[in-house]
Structure 1
């Protein structure tokens, strides 16, 4: 996560060239955290075919709903060549050819993402995809990503698709199912709203642009262009536009409210001939302190304010909106950000004339609720230490009712997908059950992984926004007991264990001073005695073999050291932001790298001396042999290097010409060398490789269906006790995978297709839904403090992880 620059190479022994690495069949599955773990910003049901629905996320790709309420991931084939596809800014399901689905993909519109955005399209419900590159960027992880949908298919002639762009790029149209695109020159409103024009962070300085496109399906006939199209624009003065001639000309909808708000959703109720619009004073998903809900009668041109609350009860904007197509006049709306005491959902059966609320105050602080929560599929969501222990949610921009089943509903939050199958009980005064229904969605960003030498722990993870977990079972959802507590950070950035006392852990994260210790393999934790007295923040932490010394390379105050839980002191002999680890066997030895320089300490981290110069320009990771003192490995963008003399000199390992994160784990044979897994480039191919003979030869262990997104962001651990099992997870937002060699592999995949609007060339990429894969995921703290940590993680840390 910390970037390290390096320069020229100086090595003890020159590398020799390796032949092309063969492939080995691996079966990949998600480690089950359970239930999402990140922001689900869009859910869409197909309006004409029962059972077809899709969910989109800001950094974790997209998913298709299965009949058993599980979800299938659709973008696991994404690799380093197209990593920005994991940010999905809009999704559309075809109402005529219901096998068709399209997505607008791209992560950032600022300099963090150098890639232009793309439209992905599929004719088999996401099993395979073709891509069209656009001449501008798309911001699936930018402000306003819960607005939408920005992508819309004409319900009467499905070769026509509209897309509303960000950054002042306006409205775009395709007439060939999304293969090529042209700007709609007659639509001149590009949006004026910028979240924070004076912010030093460019993330908040871009134009949010067009928020949604909604066709009035009742205005046309099958086989002809739909005449009436509404477009909502992130503009607080002139936001709702309409065309009555199929997009040839546009005008502002007359009489629209002028309340200085932004339109988040524009949802049509065909039987009522009404357009419902939710407004908030911010782009979301974190902000929004005021808002409104309006309905527009298309036939009469009448606007009606149907905002559910007023006065002091209105302290939030509105996001998700749902129409029950089987029950005209039955609608629902979600408070976008009612942070306290928790989120709010409203329901009306008379088109908004009156509303009932998911909960009501009785005698403060008590509330009566129209629901009970069921997080059995993601039990960590129910944390007794939180208040409330199981929140209805926040950041609620996605809210839908199944068009074929009035009892079936879903909504997205900052943590998961909730919903249920007894919704109409709400109207009779009965209690409904709200369940976590994100089984199959693993959307966490992984910042560190350890496979320690412990009988009861298979894996330890540090996770963006949801702290981290002890994984004693890889296929069982985590509970709140499995999560790091006391203290519980919003985000854990780095983990380490003591090599000779492997039940002793240290972790750092969250805000300044957050450092915690465990002496029982993560079963319980305590704050470091000096945690509150240090201003150190995030970074990388190392633990000496005997668990008596911590060296912490912070992101803000340099490299610091604590002995026997005493006060921290600065290590002046190391540059700031150096990468640090401890020798697993020799308690006196620590290693570090900064730039192209490698450092060693022989006095338990008190002082460091430069000993060698590594090849390449970026240092990624250092790993110490778990069983032999002085045997240390380092990876850079120039390859993989090994020292057997405490880092005095290094030999470049054959094969990798570039290497990011890697690890050592259980050997193939008793007494053999530790197995190595590395994200590396070998023979010109960037992939995940394993070596069983100290890097003499390598096999590739992923295939075209498992791309793992950005190679640089992936964290890797090799199982300490089970040969061949490899763990991989990263800032790509798809949680943690574990792979094992043998039968049941994920498959061979097919080719990819990329089409540029100016020069078509085509490819098709197969989705990862062919590999056997089990679900579940994690969540974050339900308080306002979480808001900022989630915000920071999703736009800053994720980018750094991708580019570390």
Structure 2
């Protein structure tokens, strides 16, 4: 790593779905959080913030940045396990990561099944459990392949065929829309720790889909011989999911039944107390689901926190978190209508702090909220997201030096934001309801003019949209019209370029780009050829405006996918993006065909006609507006035995960006490339136009790959990157 380079998060705060919270049962303030796509975190009591513990995951581990389950060794507070894998399948794609230092470092084991951290039901669990009496024994409830057991601390695994040997076929999984729930959790019936002998009695909850596929007779099974044999347990309701089971100190179990998978299941739902033989109904809801349950104490004085999911709104009269202090005999609402910042809807995991009964937290679609005075008649709620950054960045754009903002951030689910302060949550956005931002750009000669494209989600006006601001994001207006394809083709592959105030060229996904010279009042199609859709993989031209000559606009066609065998090419416009001419030099350069997200183009903002392309495998440079190209031989992908039509395991060069040059350097910009040199993936920097390179990051700051990047024009050495749903990070 370049000497002196450090990394920080540009603050947003939360922004994504935290799917589970796991406290260590005996060590105070030791708490972990798992997310569906953004890795895992550990609470840092000293700084009152969340510490990311998966930032060392490599570019080849992006799929593993979804964490399905976390388990802790109750006898060793330094040992932590996580099971990862973004989407369930019938293939063996999951991993078990093991850390002996609370997540500071990891080793991993490839597992013989898949996980689904970003599938439906992703807050169910915990699917991974450690036997508290014999911690070398682990169980995992998989989505597609039944129940599994390890007796050597997760190094090897075997299916628990005494429960069932069934594994879903591809046809069965497809019939479920890819959303299998399978074996949902395992809970041990013990109040002791250590001792060396395996806990004999344990329960496992089974989702309706696996009950049917395996020919089982109940949603709940019990073993009294450590999992060697299993017997069905009669339950008071059937055909429901069991998202959580908690064993209280007195040996009673508190069991949630909810009809749907979640997130935010709408019910109906039931909470029962179970003594091993008898069921007692404690709470029910026919118009909402139950997501989370936590119990402290036992018997008639047990404190129970119940998460009510599928209801939206924090006003009085709603149910969000129900609390009982008498073992479930009576209940009161402690969040809806209370002071502070609450969060309804996806209340799919609730935890009472084992060392502080007044500290209650729950997850939601935008992070974590908590109260630290739960016993109050009016508990106060606040976000607990300091250090937790889970936005999925789809586009970054930096302005010229001296602009009143650092960058424009286009992100999934949270929209477009103009960042004027890296240490505070941004406030400047065109649309602050549920939406996604795909791309934005500014006029280089007038950076207060910004154009942005995206999609409005989940409303009567859902669909593609575009915005503009003439005052640096202080105020916004919607474009009066949209170019052809923008309203319906809303993939993140869409992008736009601004040549001057009121002049925009827009390439919606899978559409011919159009231009506007009247601030979006009208649009005219360019002469760029239509791009063939590649088996449903969205694509578009990547547009870049020359910053020294706004009449020049460049359009890069990446070829669409790894399997097209249609070479990438560059088109050049000299009339502001109205008409384009194919660069025969780009054809002669034999640039690789690659998908949208594995290739990019950038322009040197300090020199006219100075272009760079990362084609997925290598880097190309042109100093004559794309007429001729020179291939740099530094970069090469990591194939690891994969067929070329599938694409490399790690792209050789996927992103290029140019920023402020180093003082006294021989080239007019610092060049940054995300790629591989000498089999080492990283962000690489060159200060001499690509002659030599130095790694700009290190192994601790890889963020499961970098998907977007922009370079600062004010500060040498500063870049902004989006990892795998880790928000925006910047180098110092």
Q: TM-score range by the shorter chain?
A: 0.7 to 0.9
**Aligned partners of 2:55 and 2:127: how far apart in 1?**
23
Note if contact 2:291-2:347 (Cα within 8 Å) is conserved in structure 1: yes
The answer on whether the counterparts of 1:94 and 1:101 sit within 8 Å (CA) in structure 2 is: yes
Matching residue within 190, 206, 209 for 2:182: 209
Following the alignment from structure 1 to structure 2, what is the Cα–Cα distance between the partners of residues 736 and 507?
18
For residues 644-682 of structure 1, give each alpha carbon's deviation from its aligned partner in whole angstroms, at most 9, with x where no partner exists: 222122112352232111211111126851111110122
Q: 1:510 aligns with which of 433, 455, 459?
A: 455
Indicate conservation of the 8 Å contact 2:416/2:452, yes or no.
no
| Aligned mates of 2:382, 2:453 — CA distance in 1 | 32
Aligned position for 1:8: none
The reply to whether residue 166 of structure 1 matches residue 111 of structure 2 is no
2:321 corresponds to 1:345: yes
Q: Is it true that 1:147 corresponds to 2:110 in the alignment? A: no
Residue aligning to 1:245: 225
Identify the residue that residue 42 of structure 1 maps to in structure 2: 20
The equivalent position to 2:525 in structure 1, one of 570, 576, 579, is 570
Q: Does 1:296 align with 2:274?
A: yes
Write the deviation string for residues 366-387 of structure 1: whole angstroms up to 9, x where unpaired.
Answer: xxx2x2115xxxxxxxxxxxxx
Between 554-563 and 450-459, report the one with greater CA deviation.
554-563
SS of equivalent residue, structure 1 residue 232: strand
State the Cα deviation string for residues 243-285 of structure 1 (Å, max 9, x = none).
112111111112x0234321111111122x2211222222111
What does residue 154 of structure 2 align with? 178
User: Residue 70 of structure 1 aligns with which residue?
Assistant: 49
Query: Structure 1, unaligned stretches of length 5 or more?
Result: 1-21, 361-368, 375-390, 741-804
1:449 equivalent in alignment to 2:396:
yes
1:728 matched residue in structure 2 = 721
> Residue 501 of structure 2: which of 530, 547, 550 is its match?
547
Q: CA deviation at 1:411?
A: 1.0
**Distance across 1 between alignment mates of 2:121 and 2:170:** 10
Alpha-carbon distance in 1 for matches of 2:137, 2:441? 54
Which aligned pairs between 1:396-795 and structure 2 lie closer than 5 A?
396-425=347-376, 430-453=377-400, 454-474=402-422, 476-479=423-426, 482-486=427-431, 490-511=435-456, 512-531=463-482, 535-538=487-490, 539-564=493-518, 565-576=520-531, 577-594=540-557, 595=559, 596-611=568-583, 612-613=586-587, 614=589, 615-618=591-594, 620-657=599-636, 658-669=652-663, 672-711=667-706, 714-730=707-723, 732-740=724-732
Gaps of 5+ in 2: 212-217, 457-462, 532-539, 560-567, 637-651
Post-superposition offset of 1:593: 1.6
Counterpart-to-counterpart distance in 2, 1:573 and 1:71 = 47
Q: CA deviation at 1:632?
A: 1.8
Distance in 1 between residues matched to 2:272 and 2:168, nearest whole Å: 21
Alpha-carbon distance between aligned partners in 1 of 2:257 and 2:438, rounded to the nearest angstrom: 36
SS at match of 1:82: helix
Normalized against structure 1, the TM-score is what?
0.79
Higher relative contact order (CA 8 A, sep 6+): 1
Retained in 2: the 8 A contact 1:662–1:715? no
> How far apart are residue 485 of structure 1 and its match?
2.7
Distance of 2:303 and 2:617 partners within structure 1? 61
Counterpart Cα distance in 2 of 1:182 and 1:235: 23
1:219/1:226 contact within 8 Å kept: no
Partner of 1:121: 98
Specify the SS of the correspondent of 1:81: helix
Residue 464 to residue 486, structure 1, CA distance change in 2 (3 Å): closer
**SS of the counterpart of 1:669?**
coil
In the TM superposition, 1:1-12 aligns within 5 A as none
Q: Deviations along 1:386-413, whole A, 9 cap, x unmatched?
A: xxxxx52321212101112111121111
Tell me how far 1:77 sits from its aligned partner.
0.4
Higher deviation after alignment, 645-654 or 125-134? 645-654
Q: 1:220 to 1:521 in 2, by over 3 A?
A: closer
Residue-pair matches, total: 669
| 3-state secondary structure, aligned to 1:264 | coil
Find out whether 1:316 has 2:288 as its counterpart: yes
CA contact (8 A) 2:428 2:474 kept: no
Q: Does 1:131 align with 2:142?
A: no
- Structure 1 distance, partners of 2:298, 2:722, is 42
- 2:31 counterpart residue number: 53
Change (3 A) 1:134 1:636: same
Query: Within 2, Cα distance between the matches of 1:228 and 1:477?
Result: 50
> Aligned-pair distance for 1:588?
2.2
RMSD, aligned α-carbons: 2.6
For 2:244, what is the secondary structure of its paired residue? strand
Q: Secondary structure at the match of 1:448?
A: strand
SS at 2:83 equivalent:
strand
